[in-house]
Structure 1
Amino acid sequence: MIAGLSPNTQWVLFSTLILGMAAGLIGCLAYWKRQSLMSDALSHAALPGVVIAFALLGFKSIPGMIAGAAVSALLGFLFIQWIQSSSKIKEDTAMGIILSIFFGLGMMLLSIVNRTAGGGQSGLDSFIFGQAASMTGKDVRTMSALALAVIAAVAIGFKEWKLFLFDSDFARGLGLSGKLMNGIYMTLLILVIVIGIQAVGVILMSALLIIPPVSARYWTQSFKRMLILSALFGGGAGAAGTWISTLGKGWPTGPFIVVVSSSLFLISLVFGFQKGWLAKWRHVQAHKRQAAEPLRQNARKEESAV
């Protein structure tokens, strides 16, 4: 237990730690599928579902809002696929279109709901930038359980994920269905998004999915080590950002998580063993020394001959 923090705050910290780890793992899969922007699009697409669920229920119910966010995010994904398949529009453009439409619709619905009786006290605004401190014990347990399920799904199917991402032809030869793996991947991605938007917010949830795997890539070329590092970076950013947000009254969680995550990225960018600036500088210097060595040897031979 952490001294000086209430039991509820400690449970919130634990839940955002687990959420960050789950987001880091799924973000790593999205990185290798070259779909990092998909997480951004689906995060924003979840907002209308949250607002519509509150409007239909008439009260704030986290399970109901999670279900609404999941349906809305799934619709966003299906629309992206439909736009891409029925036109010449590329995937990233389709993602941008759906992101803008769904988020604009969500903000419009949010402004309408906030003007209704009791809407201003609904706490829906916390879904924009996140407010982990407002989470109840039931919210924390739900988020933690679902995040642990995501972590277990990635860990148990590690070999299958590796085949799916890096050798799909061989995977099909072994009987591993690409459609099934894509379906599981998209389900896990949507699940992480919808359980994290209350803590991190729909705008910044994508940062928790994108920044940790990119940071981990600077340290290793191993897929397994990258998964572990991405989970550690995501979990560390989630817990640290949440802790900082609890130091002030009403401080949103999402921005602080992004600041911590960005700091980890900058450290990785400079000091990363594989692709960091210092590693590249050392490689260039070593290459220059290697290229200059024959010239130095020839110079020494000429001096000895004289």
Structure 2
Amino acid sequence: MEVLFERTFWIIALGTGLLGATSGILGSFAVLRNQSLLGDAISHAALPGIVLAYLLTGEKSSFVLLSGAIVCGILGSYFVNDIVKNSRLKTDTALGIILSVFFGIGMMLLTYAQSLDDANQAGLDKYLFGQASTLMQKDVLLMLGFLIPSLLLVFTFWKEIKIFLFDAEYAQTLDIPVRKINLMLTLLIVIIIVMGLQTVGVVLMSSLLLAPAAAARQWTNSLSKMLGIAAIIGAFSGVFGSYISATESNLPTGPVVVLIVSVIVFISLLFAPQRGLIAKYLANKEKQKQYTK
């Protein structure tokens, strides 16, 4: 319990909590757009951007490295849209291609960078699996500064976003700027993924983006409620995961957070009142009884 009175713990807990809440909200849009691989593709596409930013500038600051990640993340999402638009490949296939190619390039560049003098001291490898213990107060303020504008954008375009998620073609007939809405949501997802790389890393960030939304989807059919539940699940997983990591030695924060949210997904899949597997099983048994009467 002593850890609850430590300032360092609360900085990490607030950082992971804000990251989880924001990821839950924005990840809901990716889930409802059937773009489950989007988080994977963007997070893996960000890796070469991190390494290139270091190689080109020699700077080790998070701002420089994450700026490179944002550029490559946006570039990756652009290539996905371009492949889908100009070929017969489906979105998931295009996402898989971009994920593999960019991550392969990133690992090759990372290996090269670590072979150089002083490269290991840059801490580039921490972006693979994250290192929440490096979070500082300025990082938490940066997350808060991103969460508030994101919520304002979602609230401002709430009506347009709902129609776009329901039926993009129908939204076009209502003169809703579908391309701009899609670009805005994709850009917000890119930024939150990049911000989460320092905490949970390239490999696990997609799980934190999608898992809260997947769990929330089991409990409600309302978009607004889904966003709220996903935010609560993400925030709880972040704070509780930070607490477990702080009280148990040799447990990294990022994987613990992802493990907690994964357990919540499993519970939701089983016990959700309407969509849960148990509820569906009981409903089917009830139907069978009615048919046999």
TM-score (norm 2): 0.92
Structure with max Cα Rg: 1
**Aligned 8 A contact 1:26 1:189 in 2:** yes
2:6 and 2:148 mapped to 1: Cα distance? Answer: 23
2:228 is paired with a residue whose SS is helix
SS at match of 1:121: helix
Of 46-55 and 136-145, more deviation after overlay is shown by: 136-145
The equivalent of 2:45 in structure 1 is 45
Aligned positions, number: 293
Equivalent residues in 2 for 1:271-286 (5 A)?
271-286=271-286
Residue 133 of structure 1: aligned partner: 133
Partner of 2:238: 238
1:184 aligns with 2:184: yes
Whole-Å Cα distance in 1 between the matches of residues 4 and 133 of structure 2? 15
Aligned to 1:299: none
Query: What amino acid sits opposite 1:279 in the alignment?
Result: A
CA contact (8 A) 2:213 2:227 kept: yes
Per the alignment, residue 247 of structure 1 pairs with 247
2:54 aligns with 54
- How has the CA–CA distance of structure 1 residues 87 and 288 changed in structure 2, closer, same or farther, with 3 Å as cutoff? closer
SS of residue in 2 equivalent to 1:4: helix
- Amino acid paired to 2:57: L
Structure 1 residue 174 displacement after superposition: 4.2
Deviation at 1:121, TM superposition (A): 1.6
Over aligned residue pairs, what C-alpha RMSD do you find?
2.1
Task: Within 5 Å, give how 1:80-95 maps onto structure 2.
Answer: 80-95=80-95
Paired letter, 2:53: A
Which secondary structure state, in structure 1, belongs to the residue aligned with residue 119 of structure 2? coil
CA pair 157-206 structure 1, distance change in 2 beyond 3 A? same
User: Shift of the alpha carbon at 1:70?
Assistant: 0.7
Asked if the contact 1:80–1:95 (Cα under 8 Å) also holds between the matched residues in 2, the reply is yes
Report the Cα offset of residue 156 of structure 1.
Answer: 3.8
Deviates further, 160-169 or 17-26: 160-169
Task: State the TM-score, normalizing by the size of structure 1.
Answer: 0.88
Distance 1:90 1:170 in 2: 21
> Are 2:199 and 1:199 aligned?
yes
Q: Which amino acid aligns with 1:221?
A: N
Deviations 1:21-76 (A, max 9, x none): 11111111111111111111111000111111122232321222221111001111
Q: Conserved in 1, the CA contact under 8 Å of 2:218 and 2:274?
A: yes
The Cα offsets for residues 225-283 of structure 1, whole Å up to 9 and x where unpaired, read as: 11111111122222222332333566433211221011001110111112112211231
Match of residue 115 from structure 2: 115
In 2, the alpha carbon distance for the partners of 1:234 and 1:186 equals 19
SS of the residue corresponding to residue 109 of structure 1 reads helix
The answer (yes or no) to whether the contact 2:3–2:9 under 8 Å persists in 1 is no
Q: 8 Å contact 1:131–1:251 — kept in the other structure?
A: no
